[in-house]
Structure 1
Amino acid sequence: MGVRPPRGRRVSARRAAAAFREVHGAMPDGVWAAPGRVNLIGEYTDFNDGLVMPLALPHRTWAAASPRTDGRLRLHSAAAPGGVVELRTADLAPGAVRGWAAYPAGVAWALREAGHTTGGADLHIESDVPVGSGLSSSAALEVATALALTELHGPALPPDRLARLAQHAENAFVGVPCGIMDQTAAACCAEGHALHLDTRDLSRRHVPFAPDPEGLRLLVVDTRVRHDLGDGAYARRRADCEKGARALGVPSLRDIAYGQLPDALEALADEPVVRALVRHVVTENERVARVAALLVAGDLRAIGPVLSAGHASLRDDVAVSCAELDLAVAVANGAGALGARMTGGGFGGSAVVLAEAAGADAVAEALTGAFASVGHRPPHVFPVRPAAGARREL
């Protein structure tokens, strides 16, 4: 089979605008887009004030939109049945909207809560970011909506502010206690770079990451095992991390230096679950720092073992992997990949693989064969290059 793009409809800003006209009866005032993301390294660290290093995908969510003066939101998605969802912005409150519409509605609510004039809007959503694959389809939807609403009603907000508002929408309105990484990646990433983000102070730098000129490929392996971070498992791990910080007398696990880890683990000997999470967060911050240093030095191949070590930590200490993700990582490494790890919140979703370009097809074929041999659905394996963050496209 080899490496190929993910299946799905071909989406573009013009397609989104044309679909908006079919739904809402006129061409939109504009089309805004935000990307999905792959996290190269730095998992379960963002809500611990830690370090992360995502990159934006070429796959995007488009929000075609026009303003309304009657305070109503009329929301439509090409991927959702049921037609237009109509809401009054004055009635928006946490828990009042369910399903996919909660994400754009939550953004409108967060903007209103922050004192921004949003008014109403007609929106049509198109996307080629795989849903439930650990590639941040929700953050792409939130940031695209936030960019559209703020530019329609003014004033435009800086990308980091959009990310904060989108995160608040997901935390407080949708009810998923995610960190800031996904929304910041969607809003702030740069083409040809990974984003080194300190989630404590939101300082960020763009680290060059261009695998193709080095004869490498970065592959995403969508296991097609869908996950739902709203089911409570993600929230329990966040709560246990906060419990560990309290037990160790620090504001967050970010404050445990790598050299202090042995003493921290000894202090948590009677709390095995919390102890394991602390070990992961502290060592994962160290892995992010190592990958950043290697990329700056231009030693892309050397990050492979660090990726694989990150997967082992997520599997064993955080317990958020699954059989399909473990199989993907093991088979990819066995087929000659330089390194591989699950990416995203886990419980399904995707893995990321760094491979030699000459061997990428062999890795993909080994993955397809291995999944078939144990009766799993065939994975979608496709190459990605670091793309740009959110922007107006039409």
Structure 2
Amino acid sequence: MTDVRSDTLSGFAERYGHTALSLWSGPGRVNLIGEHTDYNEGFVLPFAIDRRTFVAMRPRQDSLARVGSSFAPETVEIDLADLRAENVDGWSAYPLGVAWAIGQFTGGSVPTRGFDLYVHSDVPVGAGLSSSAAIESATALALNDLWETDLDRRTLARVGQLAENKAVGAPTGIMDQSASLLGETDAGVFLDCRSLDAEVIGLGFEPAGLAVVVIDTRVSHAHATGGYASRRASCEAGARTLGVEALRDVGIARLDEAREMLDDETFRRVRHVVTEDQRVLDTVRTLREKGADAIGELLVASHVSMRDDFEISVPELDLAVESALGAGAMGARMTGGGFGGAAIALTPIDRVEAVRAAATRAFADASFREPISFTVVPSAGARRED
């Protein structure tokens, strides 16, 4: 029994005074490539990681929902008959938002069988590894079982997205929830964010002698505020001007035309999305034809595009990427929504410690806060644990 798993069960018992009936978990995710393409109906290639959020739950005989967690002292209570997207806030908006969103997919009203729920996690918060989707996915599976709503995993991904958009107030796409629910061992989830078709793509990192190093800059970000929403608004404005439903429909060949039709900032936002979509397709093809050790340049190009065109990097992320490449990583890029969080470095196993040490030294030399670095392994998606 892992520490996180056992700590979740003991935390539940301490909080509520009785034992949990069942336990579920959902992984965080690393987005290998495809940033800010999801809400533009494009392509992404994330994978679930071996850092997980656990949800312990016990049904109640009334309609009260009680949610608690290891990262907040309060227990939030609400009668499910009164649950609305607009009357939840703070961290509890994630699990309670999922409860509300399930109701939207099952006839419009929230099922009223109550529950006690407790959340504990080793997915770093604010690192761009989607701790939020890990909570949503584990909770969605738990409530799907409790309420016998029989929603499939692709629908549960939509449940999580709706919760994050409406209850949390973050205008995110569906990538994170899809990775957390559909992930498999040593594989990525190649997701078409328009059709929601998902294909499991073997990554082959281990046989290629490669590891993924996460360098958490410890610069926190919040998707519900400013920068993320403004980037999405720019993309939508660009699509309207170009006369397309979404930037997915603007190919590389139209970029010269787009430059003439758009102001400079909007054009650069559009160029990032269009070229990033192509990089996702190129990465999938390269993995199939040449293997994992041939995708490094695509990762680096993705970071440059996010830094220069989409302008969502920060100096700490740029330094993490530069130091990793200098220490022998084959490719590196920031991952997640930007404005902080983590970078990833695809690294030969025998260079992992050198990459981690180089990041620590570089941050110290720049008088930045010391980063936290660790490796992650492409892992299985959300599941019931008992």
Superposition TM-score tier, normalisation by shorter sequence: over 0.9
Aligned positions of 1:85-100 closer than 5 A? 85-100=76-91
Residue of structure 1 aligned with 2:317, choices 322, 325, 338: 325
Matched with 2:132 is: 138
Gaps of 5+ in 1: 1-9
Q: Give the C-alpha shift of residue 242 in structure 1.
A: 0.5
The letter of the residue matching 2:215 is V
The answer on 1:367 being equivalent to 2:359 is yes
SS of the aligned residue for 1:165 comes to helix
Quick check: 1:203 aligned with 2:194? no
Q: Counterpart in 2 of 1:230?
A: 224
Supply the distance in 2 between the matched residues of 1:45 and 1:119 (Cα, whole angstroms): 38
Task: Kindly provide the amino acid, as one letter, of the partner of residue 253 in structure 1.
Answer: L
Q: Aligned with 2:149: secondary structure?
A: coil
Counterpart-to-counterpart distance in 2, 1:12 and 1:330: 33
Residue 125 of structure 1, aligned match among 97, 108, 119 = 119
Measured in 2, the distance between the counterparts of 1:205 and 1:313 equals: 26
SS at match of 1:123: strand
Matched, 1:344 2:363: no
Q: CA deviation at 1:149?
A: 0.8
Distance in 1, matches of 2:190 and 2:7, equals 33
Q: Distance in 1 between matches of 2:188 and 2:112?
A: 32
Aligned to 1:257: 251
Shift of 1:259: 2.1
Equivalent residue of 1:318, what SS?
coil
More displaced stretch, 329-338 vs 44-53: 329-338
1:151 Cα offset (Å): 0.3
> What's 2:384 paired with?
392
Over residues 268-293 of structure 1, what are the superposed CA-to-partner deviations in whole Å (9 max), with x where a residue is unaligned? Answer: 2xx11110111001000000011101
Query: Contact (CA 8 Å) 1:45, 1:51: kept in 2 or not?
Result: yes
What amino acid is the match of 2:99?
A
Change (3 A) 1:206 1:118: farther
Provide the aligned length of Structure 1 versus Structure 2.
382
Query: Counterpart of 1:277?
Result: 269
Question: 1:56 aligns to what SS in structure 2?
Answer: strand
Deviation of 1:232 after TM superposition, in Å, equals 2.1
Residue 134 of structure 1, CA deviation: 0.4
Gaps of 5+ in 2: none
TM-score by length of 1: 0.94
User: Equivalent residue of 1:214, what SS?
Assistant: coil
When the two chains are superposed, the root-mean-square deviation of aligned CA atoms in Å is: 1.3
Given residue 53 of structure 1, which amino acid in structure 2 is its aligned partner? Answer: L
Q: Can you list the C-alpha shifts for 1:231-267, whole angstroms capped at 9, x where unaligned?
A: 1211111111000000000000000112222222222
Does residue 1:159 correspond to 2:156, yes or no? no
Q: Is the 8 A contact 1:36 1:57 kept in 2?
A: yes
Task: Describe the SS at the equivalent of 2:190.
Answer: strand
Q: Is the 8 A contact 1:190 1:206 kept in 2?
A: yes
Displacement after TM superposition at 1:211 (Å): 1.3
Amino acid at match of 1:62: F
TM-score computed with the length of structure 2 as normaliser = 0.96
Q: Alpha-carbon deviations, 1:69-98, whole Å to 9, x = none? A: 32111111011123x111111222233222
Paired residues for 1:23-172 under 5 Å? 23-82=15-74, 84-114=75-105, 115=107, 117=111, 119-172=113-166
1:15 is displaced (CA, Å) by 3.0
Cα distance in 2 for residues equivalent to 1:11 and 1:226: 25
* Paired amino acid for 2:255: L
Give the letter aligned to residue 241 of structure 1: C
| Residues 220, 383 of structure 1: 8 Å contact kept | yes
User: Residue 379 of structure 1 aligns with which residue?
Assistant: 371
Quote the Cα distance in structure 1 between the aligned partners of 2:240 and 2:3: 47
Deviations 1:139-166 (A, max 9, x none): 1111111110110110332111110011
AA aligned opposite 1:23? R
Quote how far apart the aligned CAs of 1:39 are.
Answer: 0.2
